Amino acid sequence: MTVLDDVRELIVALDKRTICDDCITNKLQLSVRQYANQKSRVLAKSPLFARNKDVCSTCGKIKYVIRHQYQQSNNNNLSLTEKIHIPAKQEKNSPRIFSNTPSLNELKAIGFKHIGNWILEGGVLKLNQFDMKKSIPALYAFISETNILYVGKTNQMLAKRLYFYAKPGPTQSTNIRINANLKQAVLDGQSIDIIAFHDDIPKKVGSFILNLSAGLEDDIIRQISPLWNVRK
């Protein structure tokens, strides 16, 4: 079975009850939340499924949710899955499966700190609760809950670098791509947080400053393989 099949089966089994992307991720133990989001959107193109902002029947939060709906048909020719009421599996009071994903914890352990989040205002991305004091050159990441979506590094002031994700220039293909991803994620009801790492006390090799961010970037991206980073 493909992930799409798994997601479809789960939603059908919920018998018209709503489920959000995060709960799909948890129930199917998907490694990346974005898979649930993508599959839910694919299914929502079918008249058998409806996706909209509503209360998730599993977690109780107001989010983008999907539900199965019976196809309107004159004959009584419902498919097997539609005839049989399959009760949803008993939801255990288990912690979110991402809560112990090592990657985000490891970033925090080496000194990544939360410095703000993205919001949409009039269709434009804006930095929210952004800590300007920490806006020095840094290694940074965009995260959704504990999913690391994107890792980048800048030698500019961080606020300046992030501005280009909010308002990309016409030739800035990476900025344009990340801008579209960020907007879509925020529209989907995800909270996209920004975490950043910088050297408080830069190390020196002889008289030269060791750029720790530059040294860490490659291997962090290699090990975590964030969804929005293009594989090199």
Q: How far is the CB of 41 from Zn ion (least distance, A)?
A: 16
56 vs 143, which CB is nearer to Zn ion?
56
Q: For residues 31 and 24, what is the distance between their CA atoms, to the nearest angstrom?
A: 11
52 vs 71, which CB is nearer to Zn ion?
52
Q: How far is the CB of 37 from Zn ion (least distance, A)?
A: 12
Which are the contacts of 198, defined by CB distance < 8 A and separation ≥ 6? 134, 136, 137, 138, 139, 213
54 vs 199, which CB is nearer to Zn ion?
54
Q: Which residues bind Zn ion (CB under 5 A)?
A: 20, 23, 56, 58-59
Measured at the alpha carbon of residue 26, what is the angle toward residues 12 and 65, in degrees to the nearest 5?
A: 50
53 vs 203, which CB is nearer to Zn ion?
53
Q: How far is the CB of 3 from Zn ion (least distance, A)?
A: 18
Q: Which two tokens stand for residue 182?
A: 């960020």
Q: How far is the CB of 141 from Zn ion (least distance, A)?
A: 24
49 vs 140, which CB is nearer to Zn ion?
49
Q: How far is the CB of 66 from Zn ion (least distance, A)?
A: 11
Q: How far is the CB of 23 from Zn ion (least distance, A)?
A: 3
Closest CA to 12 of 88, 92, 91, 90: 88
Q: For residues 213 and 221, what is the distance between their CA atoms, to the nearest angstrom?
A: 12
Measured at the alpha carbon of residue 200, what is the angle toward residues 182 and 219, in degrees to the nearest 5?
A: 55
Radius of gyration of the chain (CA): 21
57 vs 103, which CB is nearer to Zn ion?
57
State which H helix or E strand residue 53 sits in: strand 49-55
Closest CA to 102 of 198, 220, 204, 17: 220
DSSP 160: H
